[in-house]
Amino acid sequence: MWTLLVAAALAAPPALSPGEVPADVAQVAESVRNLPLAERIAAISGKFLNVPYLHDPEGEGGGHDPDPPGRYDVFDCLTFVEEVLSLSLAADPADAGVIRRALRYGDAPVDYAHRRHFMEAEWLPGAIDAGFLRDAAGDYGETVTLSKALTAALWVSWGGRARFDLPDDRLPTGTMTLRVLPLATALKVASKIKPGSLVTVVRIDRSGVPYWITHLGFVLPGPAPVLRHASHMASAMRVQDHDLGWYIRNLGTWPNWPVLGVAIFEPVEQGPPRRAP
């Protein structure tokens, strides 16, 4: 069965015009448009449960990365978050592509060179500045603040530089910061994290590495809170739910690059719901 799912993930995506949302996905988004934001996130993300995981499945539809700008048959952790957040914040499902574009590019041209490739230095600050997210880690306890200077010398020496076909002047420079809830604190407050919140996994700082975040997903209500995410765990590469407390405890067992804690961001309602005519 899993072999069939993986084969489907590697097949060509359904033919959709740019920005088009599949009818069944749009129907779910439309049916919950007047619910609170956290409930919209839960319902829309639930539509994608068990959708296979595929790394980097979206692009610009041409140019350097010809993958489609939006697809709903496969996700990685970031594209899952982008699609769910865009559909949940849009007043109309047809407008989800506008929010997706703003999350990925801001006001910049829609091309590979101007995509926000780096979470802490580009994607998160852009989403916060645009009013899509707010930093909520401090709501749950004492945080630690990570800070790192991104310099031309760091980018040159970083072993992962070759993965990004970007000119040097498109690599972000300056100081990036992140407020982090340490693992022990996060475990204590897991049951209090607001449904709909975006939780990101933050590793300890490594000299010469220009990022800390390696995964992200949504907190959703249940008998116990769950993390809904596009998981790349080898045993089950798909969109799935994990008990949030179990997941945070499990983060503490990752040996190769230890986890410092989690950063938490709360999606921000973009205006009153659009009422049915």
State the Cα–Cα distance between residues 67 and 86, nearest whole angstrom.
18
Q: What confidence category does residue 275 fall into, taking pLDDT thresholds of 50, 70 and 90?
A: low
Question: What is the average per-residue pLDDT within 118-126?
Answer: 98
Chain-centroid distance of CA 111 in Å reads 19
Nearest residue to 244 via CA among 190, 188, 169: 190
State the Cα–Cα distance between residues 225 and 233, nearest whole angstrom.
20
Domain 2-267 annotated CATH 3.20.20.60:
no
Predicted confidence (pLDDT) per residue in 47-66, tens digit: 999 999 999 999 999 999 99
Q: Are 262 and 183 in contact (CB under 8 A)?
A: yes
Cα angle for residues 44, 192, 104 (degrees, 5° grid): 40
Nearest residue to 267 via CA among 108, 87, 22: 87
Amino acid making up residue 210: P
Q: Tell me what pLDDT residue 274 has.
A: 58
If one counts every other C-beta atom within 10 angstroms of the C-beta of residue 215, the result is 21
Q: Tell me what pLDDT residue 2 has.
A: 34
Q: Where are the domains of the chain?
A: 2-267
pLDDT surpassing 90 at residue 109: yes
pLDDT surpassing 90 at residue 239: yes
pLDDT surpassing 70 at residue 133: yes
Q: What confidence category does residue 232 fall into, taking pLDDT thresholds of 50, 70 and 90?
A: confident
pLDDT surpassing 80 at residue 13: no
Quick one: what percent of the chain has pLDDT higher than 70? Answer: 91
263 pairs with which residues across the strands? 200
Q: What confidence category does residue 231 fall into, taking pLDDT thresholds of 50, 70 and 90?
A: very high
Predicted confidence (pLDDT) per residue in 198-208, tens digit: 999 999 999 99
Q: Tell me what pLDDT residue 233 has.
A: 81
Structure pTM?
0.92
Amino acid making up residue 253: T
